[in-house]
Structure 1
Amino acid sequence: MATPFVVSYDPATASDGLTLQQIAYFGRVLIKATDLAQTESFIRQNFRLLDIYVDATSISSSGDLVDILNAGAAKIFISLDQLTALSEEQSVPSSRLVVYTSSDDQVETFQKWVVKHIEREEAGLCIASDAVHPVSVKLGLNPEAQLLYRTYSEEISEDAIKETMKQGGVSIVPASTLAVSREESSGKIQAGSLIAARGVKDQGNGLYATTVSDERGVSLGFVWSSDESIAEALRTGTGVYQSRKRGLWYKGQSSGDVQELIRIGFDCDSDCLVFVVKQSGRGFCHLGTASCFGPYTGLSRLQKTLQARKADAPAGSYTARLFNEPKLTQAKIMEEADELCRAETKEDIAFEAADLLYFALTRCVAAGVSLEDVERNLDLKSLKVKRRKGDAKGPWAEKAGLAEKPAEKPVEKAAPKEEPKEDTSRIEMTRVVTASTSVEKVHDYLKRPSQKSNDAIVGLVKPIIKDVVEQGDAGVLKYTHKFEKATSLTSPVIKAPFPAELMKLSPDVQEAIDVSISNIAKFHSAQKGSNDSLSMETMPGVVCSRFSRPIERVGCYIPGGTAVLPSTAMMLGVPAMVAGCKKIVFASPPRSDGSITPEIVYVAHKVGAESIVLAGGAQAVAAMAYGTESVSKVDKILGPGNQFVTAAKMLVSNDTSANVSIDMPAGPSEVLVVADKTANPAFVASDLLSQAEHGVDSQVILIAIDLNEQELKAIEDEVDRQARALPRMDIVRGSLEHSVTFVVRDLEEAMALSNNYAPEHLILQIDNAEAAVEKVQNAGSVFIGQWTPESVGDYSAGVNHSLPTYGYAKQYSGVNLGSFLKHITSSNLTADGLLGLSKTVETLAAVEGLDAHKRAVSIRVAAMKQQ
């Protein structure tokens, strides 16, 4: 699926032209080798992104040329002299070589070499002439095989590249001459135009037939593209297509199932465009499946399940246990590998191999390694031209009988495991009728799922914090390289002003963020009145006052990785901006290429953030708490995160040397819905499930006011039906197992139960819901009426979605403007004021035995009397 050009790129001038991430859209890059070690390092760091071609004409040693190929270069560009020397290296396949020629004589020499040395494989040729077609005919090259490359000595133009393309040649185009955005072109060549020039349009609609696949090559669906949609996809770095009915189609703009663009190319004869994307959300299909051809199967399905388990860490699941107990995973891998080695029948071998792949992939996902990473490494191994012998190491060779070993007892083969059966039982909540249930029992049902001890988590987090404190930037990078696999990062932070290319968004996404920021800013700005200064005279001559000041430096933690969470960035960044915090620092895990999602960069830009720390987990919390060479120390850290983030926040807040505070304790997400006979059953079920899908440790509560059996069953049927349509059905099932429906007599009883529970989210789907708000005593945030789903609070209504959970709504507020302020009091007494208060203060100081306190007053009073 190659494009009709190769982008040449100089890492030393990386800021000139396209970024490496943008070059990856076109699949191939040509770099010039000036230093062997640096070249091999570049290949190792970026081979996952794209095919790397190397101009190795400056490398004199044939052995070094082989080393470059062995490091993973897809092809090397060499001279005729180097070609002759490499002929002696029998292991070098000619398909990995492209030869530079500068004259007809050199083309003749190349042709003779081809006839002499090549039987089946074909070497490539690179010329500096526009005579592409004559040379192709002379050598008998297939124009679709992309074996003839062209460089340009004169100024390169779009027309020249397109003419070379027509003749079957591949142009070498410098990154500095290309642009993916018309706004930034400044006379540069539009890469989208070059892509479109190769495509063959459908005769019926004038569009390009397009297949969309994921990173593993699994087909997600069939769509159409246009010149405009191709250009927009490259500009935004997302999946953008052409709807025959609605015009430009920004995939995921309404569903949230967005796509990150990985690569664009064509099939063999250019009549089908190919988009390779990283799909987020439920999947590609509008029906909620991974692809339009049905759900994922096999390893792809297993990977999606494991990644979901890791993201939500559902308590009680076996996979969650494997993630939390790495030694158990290691033991299971060794156990299953041994069982696979001892399996004999075809069925047993397949069964044991499946077990081994499950545990091996769990190990990979725990470390942030994907199947795409594994497969790319397999591809890299296939590129090696020098191979080690590959014998088994001593202990393993001995165990397999390849070497002498001491006698040992035969090991009995384990009985085949029984495959778990799919749970087809009804998905439902426990129903409790309060009128026939004791008060004690009702209170028991109100209890949250118990949380496990975090001693093990703290044990893992402490060394990370210690490394960051002692090593600074190096400590942060160490764990970012380890956990996020962003090995190309050399700095853990990007500073404002943020480059425009880091926040390229589709117009719809940008508008959605702008509207949300505006609403959040309006609501939090309106809170200023409650935090303004106050001043009062408590008695004649004694004036007490209070005034607020913004916390100077705040750190906003935004979970990331595979997810895109601009909502959290807005919920933390906007109030910090409104409060007037002098320094706002974002922290979010980067993607494996070291980049950060453009939505987060855009929000950081909008709220005036000073920097973005490219790190997640405990290392990000530690970096902001203590500061490093590049990361600014903050005074308060706010934001949600997994158990490692929460543990790190608690640890640094209790360390006096860090001198940092945090927002609030965190727990699993939860919702309580109060519904009466006017409530729509489908609405009620959707609200319950929107929180149940967070994780199996989440809890949802329904309080049904005087509903009869038919009305209750209508809601329960909707819960079961909607839950079965969700990709996270297993998680929802686990959550609903400890969730409860309380059937109560009236609104008074309903609100008493709700206040006792103190939910994170309280939804009132009842008649005259506004009037019931005055009865709310404990809740994180309230959603009033049937047209107010909790989702609007998560994103765009204006209220904040960082809220107290696990019953902490009885003591804590959610994040608000006051979270970013501190209040200072002052006293201002006249001489008469002090004289009038002196006896009171002196008496109390004497009671407490604090003579210096008493004297501070009496000395002043004596001075007054002497005047």
Structure 2
Amino acid sequence: MATPSLIPLVDTTPSKDLLLSAARITPVLVPSSNLSNTVSTIPKSSSYYVLVADDESLDSAISYLNNGASAIFASVELADRCISAGVPSEKLYAVSSSTDIPEDVLKGIKGALIKISGVNSATQLPKPKVTLYLDESKIIPTEKTVASLHKSNAALAVPLSQLTNDATSSSKLNITNAFLAPITTDRPDGLFSTIVSSYLHGGKSLGLCYSSKESIEESVRTGRGVYQSRKHGLWRKGETSGAIQDVVKIDLDCDSDCLNFEVIQHGAGFCHLDTPTCFGQLSGLAALEETLVSRHRSAPEGSYTKRLFNDETLLRSKIMEEADELCAAKSQEDVAFEAADLIYFALTRCVSKGVNLADIGHALDKKAAKVSRRPGNAKPKYLEQAQAKITPAPAPSTTQQPQPTSFGNDLIRMRKTKLDGIAEEERLQLLRRPVLNSGAMIDRVRPIVEGVSTKGDKSLLDFIAKLDKADLKSPIARAPFEEPTIQQDVKEAIDIAYENVRKFHVGQAEKEPLVVETMPGIVCQRFARPISRVGLYVPGGTAILPSSALMLGVPAQVAGCKEIVLATPPKPDGSIAPEVLYVAKKVGASAILKAGGAQAVAALAYGTETVPKVDKIFGPGNQWVTAAKMFVSTDADAQVAIDMPAGPSEVLVIADKTANASYVASDLLSQAEHGVDSQVVLVTIDLSEKEIDDIEKEVEQQARKLPRVDITRISVSKSLIVSTSDVKSAFDFSNDYAPEHLILHIDSASEKVPMVENAGSVFVGQYSPESCGDYASGTNHTLPTNGFARQYSGVNTLSFQKHITSQELTKEGLDKLGPVVVKLAECEGLRAHANAVRVRLGMQSP
């Protein structure tokens, strides 16, 4: 920054407005006796100097720098002691009544504040030292004096009591006029070129405009961005658009012919094209911050950034992980790559706590201002960890096998561990999935669910407009549906998948009641009846999922459910994906609810004026859907059941030496692309490091050719390779993990299926990709995740039915069983139960 044209001296308790105006255009000089009141008033973005009292100690003077002052003004004697203590020259001014300052002091200071009576008689310090004058005669300075001094690298320290914001005052100097006294322009219209930059984005230029003395005076006084339009006069930024600016600082350039307005921009942006700048979009750290701030407000559910904001343990772990990887990086490219990762996670932490780049910059400036510094030694636990990692590796053996070629530090790689010999606690950690904070998510969906349950369609339509981004007149479409237009080959594929899924689910249906004669004359039965009304949640958004509609609709149809309500998010125009609509017609859906998320679950659970209430809700979804399903299933007022708890998609592949590395990699990736929280586990049986590396290379090469590689990169990096030495150990780990999908790439795979105890669905052999089960082989792809395969089955025909039992006793049968029932009922003290038998058998009461 150029030498200020004046330095306001806080000589009295000024008005807050005047002090803020002064802080916008120049650092203020504050006597130490008035420091706390002044610093608490001016913004943290503003610089200030401290005028140290003559009787203060060296430690006291240095403490002002350590606490944030940009510079200190001290007596010549104290300044000399500061120089000896190592105070940097750019942070030190001497205060004197003469320009005759000792040479050794003059060398160690930036400039001096000369107290004189009458500035016209002043002489200046040798250049390039800054000379500031404080006229003790209390004569109000003029703009001419300010301009004259500024030309020779000098300025006035003007008491705030002599300054004003009032443009018409005759007894005080207008603060804006004093600031602008040195400014020049070569423009015929007398306007000043003005650069507008973003305070929040490290001074990023937003655009170029023009200012006049009138516009600058209003900006200094009000703190709002005001400029001069060459066509329309005063331009109060955002007056009509709402994109206003808060002015943080106004600077003159080194030649005093250009201004820089540092602002906090609100609204759409600075440019009339609604972009952040007149030069296009933000980039680098500024763009990252904008994205994170936006995601913090409304991150898509299921996105990795949203998960980072919600899970402090995950974010803390990633910061430590990336810091460690940055320390391990060697080349320039790798260091830059790892630093970018660390900055991403660190800035995510900052945004989650309301800290922006400007706050970080202010903290850096404050640290830079400090003179006293800590030794900077690392804490013992970190020092020990670092020393352990820097121990030199043994020299490679001349007989060692060549190592696999490295792809660089941005490899798509899984974490590796060996199962043999690890502690039980570590083994348990390998089985854990990322923990969903169910309580917190239920609290978030509660207002949505309660809104729909109490206000019906009105609330439902509001949430559809807000969350599904579709403005609908009615949330429901009833059969018969319009004929959808879809490609013939897609239609034929759906038809084949439908037939296969239907055949398998028909085979699951109970054909006859179960009839058992438990004793002569006593016949017990169990028979199935369909759940009358079912709701099928089919995820939507950017993906089209007719497969989920098939997997839920077909068993509901086979089971004989009387009412099938399919819920799926609508497109912005309110329509439903034609492929999903086609499936809805095939499975005999009675209605389609055009809604997603918690609002769809609530409408199905409680019903509305137009949406029929259902008895059981099925289907996968994001954490909002899962939380809403859990909420309604425990609410007695809803009287609704759900299929199963849900979590991120997952696959576990067991592979031995017979496995095809390309096939194994493709199966891992087919599940990893679902989302950044998908879980992928490879369990190897007696594979060498090279054989494992061959699979990893295939993962890398195939992933880079796929459109969802960015999602895959994240999900794979959190996934796991577990090395085991034998088949039993591999299956023991798999059974403990209880995966949603289990794929067997092993010798005689079909013979090993009896070893499977816990899994959602098993894919046997190298020609059984998980994709077939997801779409068309016949099995259902709605499966238990997150380890719930230990307790739950996947969706099947029986999921859409309930079982009723009956019993029929003849008189002979009651004669034989009655005394047993009487004895047990009386043992429990339930005499009325016993009496119901006694009256039939003519037994006397005891």
TM-score grouping bracket, smaller chain normalisation: 0.5 to 0.7
For the Cα contact (< 8 Å) 2:623–2:647, is it kept in 1?
no
Alignment partner, residue 798 of structure 1:
778
- Which residue of 751, 763, 778 corresponds with 1:771? 751
Q: Deviations over 1:246-292 (max 9, x none)?
A: xxxxxxxxxxxxxxxxxxxxxxxxxxxxxxxxxxxxxxxxxxxxxxx
**Native 8 Å contact 2:838 2:844 kept in 1:** no
Q: Which residue of 2 aligns with 1:758?
A: 738
- Superposed CA deviations along residues 317-345 of structure 1, whole A, max 9, x for unmatched, are xxxxxxxxxxxxxxxxx99747998x999
Q: Kindly provide the CA deviation profile for residues 531-572 of structure 1, in whole angstroms up to 9, marking residues without a partner as x.
A: 741101111111111000000100001111221110100000
Give the 5 Å matches for 1:807-846: 807-846=787-826
Corresponding residue of 1:654: 634
Note closer, same or farther for the CA distance 1:456–1:771 as it changes in structure 2 (3 Å cut): same
What is the distance in 1 between the residues matched to 2:694 and 2:506?
Answer: 42
**How far did 1:628 drift?**
1.3
Residues 454/847 of structure 1: CA separation in 2 closer, same or farther (3 Å cut):
same
* TM-score in terms of structure 1 length: 0.52
From 476, 490, 497, the equivalent of 2:473 is: 490
Output the CA distance in 2 between the equivalents of 1:493 and 1:344.
Answer: 43
Partner Cα distance (1:740, 1:483) in 2: 35
| 2:411 pairs with one of 426, 431, 437 | 426
Aligned to 2:840: 860
Find out whether 1:455 has 2:439 as its counterpart: yes
Deviations 1:139-189 (A, max 9, x none): xxxxxxxxxxxxxxxxxxxxxxxxxxxxxxxxxxxxxxxxxxxxxxxxxxx
How far apart are residue 447 of structure 1 and its match? 2.1
SS in structure 2 opposite 1:435? coil
What residue is the counterpart of 1:528 in the other structure? 509
Q: Following the alignment from structure 1 to structure 2, what is the Cα–Cα distance between the partners of residues 444 and 711?
A: 25
Q: Percent identity of the aligned residues? A: 53
Q: Following TM superposition, by how much is the alpha carbon of 1:433 offset from its aligned partner in structure 2, in angstroms?
A: 2.4
Q: In the alignment, what sits opposite 1:469? A: 453
Give me the whole-angstrom Cα distance separating, in 1, the residues matched to 2:835 and 2:263: 78
Distance 1:536 1:598 in 2: 48
Residue 358 (structure 1) aligned with residue 358 (structure 2): no
Partner residue of 1:742? 722
TM superposition shift of 1:434: 2.5
Matches within 5 A, 1:608-619: 608-619=588-599
Counterparts of residues 247-326 of structure 1 (less than 5 Å): none
Equivalent of 1:507 in 488, 497, 512:
488
Q: Per the alignment, in what secondary structure is the counterpart of residue 587 of structure 1?
A: strand
The aligned residue for residue 138 of structure 2 is none
Distance 1:829 1:660 in 2: 34
Give distance in 2, aligned partners of 1:611 and 1:665. Answer: 25
Aligned match for 1:537, one of 502, 517, 529: 517
| Aligned equivalents of 1:842, 1:411: Cα separation in 2 | 80
Q: Secondary structure of the residue that 2:780 maps to in structure 1?
A: coil
Distance 1:335 1:576, change over 3 A: farther
- C-alpha distance 790-351 of structure 1, shift in aligned 2 (>3 A): closer
2:360 and 2:742 mapped to 1: Cα distance?
Answer: 57
**Larger Rg belongs to:** 2
- Return closer, same or farther for 1:580/1:539 CA change in 2, 3 Å cut-off: same
In structure 1, the gaps of 5 or more residues are 1-333, 369-409
**What is the rounded CA distance, in whole Å, between the counterparts of 1:792 and 1:692 in structure 2?**
16
The equivalent residue for 1:690 is: 670
Task: Quote the Cα distance in structure 2 between the aligned partners of 1:336 and 1:742.
Answer: 51
Measured at CA, do residues 713 and 356 of structure 1 come closer, stay the same or move farther in structure 2, by a change above 3 Å?
A: closer
- Quote the Cα distance in structure 2 between the aligned partners of 1:412 and 1:821: 59
Q: Distance in 1 between matches of 2:440 and 2:677?
A: 18
CA–CA separation in structure 1 for the residues paired with 2:666 and 2:549 = 25
- Deviation at residue 346 of structure 1 after TM alignment: 8.4
RMSD: 3.3
Match of 1:576 among 556, 564, 583: 556
* Residue 829 to residue 720, structure 1, CA distance change in 2 (3 Å): same
| Change in CA separation of 1:821 and 1:636 when aligned onto 2, cut-off 3 Å | same
For the 8 Å contact 1:562–1:591, the answer to whether it is kept is no
Q: Deviations over 1:704-727 (max 9, x none)?
A: 111122212211221222233334
From 645, 653, 673, the counterpart of 2:653: 673
The structural deviation recorded for 1:651 is: 1.0
Task: Give the structure 2 partner of residue 516 of structure 1.
Answer: 497
What's the TM-score, normalizing by structure 2?
A: 0.54
Instruction: Call closer, same or farther: CA 1:508–1:350 in 2, change over 3 Å.
Output: closer
Tell me the distance in 2 between the aligned counterparts of 1:836 and 1:550. Answer: 35
Shift of 1:840: 1.2
Letter in 2 for 1:791: S
Deviation at 1:622, TM superposition (A): 1.0
What is the CA deviation profile of residues 413-447 of structure 1, one whole-angstrom value per residue up to 9, with x for unaligned ones? Answer: 65999xxxx99433222222233434443333222
Partner of 1:641: 621
**1:428 to 1:363, Cα distance in 2 relative to 1, 3 A:** closer
Does the CA-based 8 Å contact 1:348-1:416 persist in structure 2? Answer: no
> For 1:494, what is the secondary structure of its paired residue?
strand
Supply the distance in 1 between the matched residues of 2:697 and 2:844 (Cα, whole angstroms). Answer: 82
- CA change 1:702–1:353 in 2 (3 A) is closer
Distance 1:649 1:612, change over 3 A: same
Aligned AA (1:358): T
**Partner SS for 2:793:** coil
**In the alignment, is the contact (CA less than 8 A) between 1:336 and 1:356 conserved in 2?**
no
Give the SS at the match of 1:764: strand
Query: What are the equivalent positions in structure 2 for 1:308-457 lying under 5 Å apart?
Result: 337=265, 354-355=287-288, 358=291, 362=295, 366=299, 424-449=409-434, 451-457=435-441
Aligned partners of 1:608, 1:345: CA distance in 2, in Å?
A: 55
Partners of 1:347 and 1:611 in 2: CA distance? 47
Distance in 2 (alpha carbons) for counterparts of 1:669 and 1:847: 51
Asked if 2 retains the 8 angstrom alpha-carbon contact of 1:337 and 1:356, the reply is no
Q: Deviations over 1:344-391 (max 9, x none)?
A: 9989986676357535764797489xxxxxxxxxxxxxxxxxxxxxxx
Contact 2:676-2:711 at 8 Å conserved across structures: yes
Give the alignment of 1:590-609 within 5 angstroms. Answer: 590-609=570-589
Distance 1:349 1:457, change over 3 A: closer
